[in-house]
Amino acid sequence: MSKRAAGYIYASLLVSGTVASLLAFRSHANLTTVALAMVLVTMFCALLWRSGPALWASVAQVLCLNYFFIPPYRTFTIADPANWIAFSAFVITAIVVGQLSARAELRAEQAENRRLEIESLYDELKKATDEAEEAELLRRSEALKSALLDAVTHDLRTPLTSIKASVTTLLSETDDASLRELLEVINEESDRLNHFIQGMMDLARLESGNLRLTQSTTAIADIVESALLRAEVALSKHKVEVSLQEGLPNLNLDSHAISEVLYSLLENAAKYSPPGTFIRVTASLNGTSIKFEVEDQGPGIPSALHQKVFEKFFRAHGSSHARPGFGLGLSIAKGIVEAHSGSIWIEQGKDSTGTRIIFSLPVQSPPQYE
């Protein structure tokens, strides 16, 4: 049953109840009392069920008033002109009261709706402010992390700077072979420590989502050139072959980070393959991605370990070869490549010896560090 229909039914019940009681107490009620009671009923109907049922109640009561309470009784005729006036006054009062109270009720409902609307707007605003505050907090904590990393880098590298500058000064001033040997140890170990600090910092930045984005449109040739330049010393004992496919598109990426990936692959290749062998670097377009490859002619990595080498602190080559390395390079490389929605993997070298590390980057992919 609809709410509106219910209103009419309740109004009808109320009207019949009222008319029945008035009929029962007819001896004690004059026409004024009856009319007032009926106006009251109309008002209640208007307040409770709005203008429709109120109007219905007034019409029903007008008929009842005329039929039951205005002489001659049990007819719809009115004999006395004074009763005509009373009857008209009742009709007008009942209708006006009904309409007025219904309108007041409507206004109240509109006001309530507005209140609800304002409340929901306020909630939205509050939510937005909360989110903004949260973003600001996050930004501040990112800034804090970044500042902390900078401070740690500074504090670790400053003493290293004094050590390295001192030891290289001493090295340039002495010819004493046994003294030089020890000074070389200090020199090399401070380089190693510095390299390690760099690795830890890169990893910390990557994991805290703080690796700085210098996202820009970059030519692939620039990425390869800068990696080769950085690896110049490490590669000096190898024959390096570079082949870049003609007409490669520019990439929108964190150029420094990607160049870093290529650099660590080159450095690894130089580290784990004998002097005099080839190291091949290629970049080519493969569908919608660019494929970078670094291949060496070293002993290769057993296929069982192809996944494991990308784990932190893992080193594929046995400790019998005391070679420098931290096992961080490849896990950092993986982090950077994946942040660019790319992937990195290992294949057996072409002549089924050596290692070929490949990473591919989608042509349109701004980096998303988590």
Partner 1 sequence: MSEAKDKILVVDDEPQIGKVLRRGLQARGFDVRVAPDGESALDIFTIWQPDLVISDLAMPNLDGLGLCSRIRKASRVPIIVLSVKGEESTKVEALDSGADDYVIKPFGMDELLARVRALLRRSANTAQEPEARMEAGDFQIDPKTRAVLVRGSEVRLTPKEYDLLLFFLSRHSTVLTHKTILQTVWGANSINQHEYLRVFVGQLRKKIEADPAAPRYLRTEPWIGYRFEPGL
Give least dist CB 152 to partner 1, A: 11
Give least dist CB 161 to partner 1, A: 4
Nearer residue to partner 1 within complex by CB, 214 or 303: 214
Angle 81-173/177-207 helices, nearest 10 degrees? 170
CA atoms within 13 A of residue 281's CA, in its CB half-sphere: 27
Residue 239's Cα: distance from chain center in Å?
Answer: 47
Give least dist CB 282 to partner 1, A: 15
Nearer residue to partner 1 within complex by CB, 16 or 243: 243
Nearer residue to partner 1 within complex by CB, 37 or 163: 163
Nearer residue to partner 1 within complex by CB, 167 or 357: 167
Give least dist CB 255 to partner 1, A: 7
Nearer residue to partner 1 within complex by CB, 256 or 306: 256
Phi/psi for 49 (5° steps) reads -130, 10
Residue 200, amino acid: M
Residue 217, amino acid: T
Give least dist CB 302 to partner 1, A: 35
Nearer residue to partner 1 within complex by CB, 69 or 292: 292
Give least dist CB 203 to partner 1, A: 16
Strands 278-286 and 239-244: parallel
Asked if residues 65 and 87 have their Cβ atoms less than 8 Å apart, the reply is yes
**Closest-CA residue to 38 (of 100, 106, 90):** 90
| Other beta carbons within 10 Å of 203 | 18
Contact positions toward partner 1, by CB under 8 A? Answer: 150, 153-154, 157-166, 168-169, 172-173, 187, 190, 194, 212, 214, 219, 222, 225-226, 229-230, 242, 255-256, 259
Nearer residue to partner 1 within complex by CB, 170 or 285: 170
| Other beta carbons within 10 Å of 333 | 24
| Other beta carbons within 10 Å of 148 | 13
Give least dist CB 258 to partner 1, A: 12
Instruction: Kindly provide the residue ranges of all beta strands, DSSP E only, lying in 108-255, ordered along the sequence.
Output: 215-218, 239-244, 251-254
Asked if residues 57 and 98 have their Cβ atoms less than 8 Å apart, the reply is yes
Asked if residues 76 and 119 have their Cβ atoms less than 8 Å apart, the reply is no
Nearer residue to partner 1 within complex by CB, 41 or 283: 283
Give one DSSP letter per residue of 155-190, joined into a string. HHHHHHHHHHHHHHHHHHH---HHHHHHHHHHHHHH
Give least dist CB 317 to partner 1, A: 28
